[in-house]
Amino acid sequence: MEAREAVAKAIEGHGPIEQVYWIGCGGSMIDLMPADYMLQAESAKVESNVYTAREFTVAPPRKLGSHSMVVALSHSGGTPEVVEACKLAQERGAYIFTMTSTAGSIVDAPEWDTFVYDWQDDTPQRELDAAQSILVVAELLKAQEGYDAYDALQAGIDELDRIIPAAKKKVNEELCDHFAELCQKHDFLYILGSGACFAQTYGFAICSLMEMQWQNCCYIHSAEYFHGPFECTEPGVFYFLQMSSGPSRVEDERALAFLNTHTDTLMVLDALEYGMDAVDERVRAYLEPIMMYYMNVELRAARGRVFDHDPSVRRYMGIEKY
Residue 24, SS3? strand
pLDDT of residue 20: 99
Rounded distance, CA 39 to CA 41, Å?
Answer: 5
Using one digit for the tens of pLDDT, what is the confidence trace for 149-183? Answer: 999 999 999 999 999 999 999 999 999 999 999 99
223 falls in which pLDDT band (50, 70, 90)?
very high
Helix residue spans in 146-210 (DSSP H): 150-174, 176-185, 198-203
Using one digit for the tens of pLDDT, what is the confidence trace for 110-139? Answer: 999 999 999 999 999 999 999 999 999 999
Rounded distance, CA 43 to CA 316, Å?
Answer: 41
Rounded distance, CA 263 to CA 236, Å?
Answer: 7
pLDDT of residue 78: 94
Mean pLDDT of 252-262: 99
Is 3-150's fold the same as 169-307's?
yes
Q: Does residue 216 register a pLDDT over 90? A: yes
Residue 318 backbone phi and psi in degrees, to 5: 75, 5
Rounded distance, CA 221 to CA 240, Å?
Answer: 12
Rounded distance, CA 318 to CA 322, Å?
Answer: 9
Mean pLDDT of 20-32: 98
243 falls in which pLDDT band (50, 70, 90)?
very high
Q: Does residue 80 register a pLDDT over 90? A: yes
HEC letters along 109-153:
CCCCEEEECCCCCCCCHHHCHHHHHHHHHHHHHHHHCCCCCHHHH
Q: Helix, strand, coil shares of the chain as percentages rounded to 5?
A: 55, 15, 30
Closest CA to 233 of 252, 256, 203, 208: 256
Rounded distance, CA 201 to CA 218, Å?
Answer: 9
Residue-by-residue DSSP string for 204-228? IIIIIIIIHH--EEEEEETTGGGGT
Closest CA to 196 of 48, 7, 53: 48
105 falls in which pLDDT band (50, 70, 90)?
very high
Query: Exposed (0-12), middle (13-18) or buried (19+): which is 26, by Cβ within 10 Å?
Result: middle
Rounded distance, CA 66 to CA 260, Å?
Answer: 51
**What one-character DSSP code corresponds to residue 248?**
T
For the chain, domain boundaries: 3-150, 169-307
pLDDT of residue 15: 84
Q: How far is CA 90 from CA 21, 57, 242, 255, 319, in A?
A: 13, 12, 38, 43, 31
Query: Exposed (0-12), middle (13-18) or buried (19+): which is 299, by Cβ within 10 Å?
Result: buried
Q: How far is CA 177 from CA 70, 77, 81, 98, 273, in A?
A: 41, 34, 37, 38, 18
What pTM was estimated for this model as a whole? 0.96
CATH 3.40.50.10490 fits 169-307, yes or no: yes
The answer for residues whose C-beta is within 8 angstroms of residue 146's C-beta and 6 or more apart is none
Q: What is the mean pLDDT of the chain?
A: 98
CATH 3.40.50.10490 fits 3-150, yes or no: yes
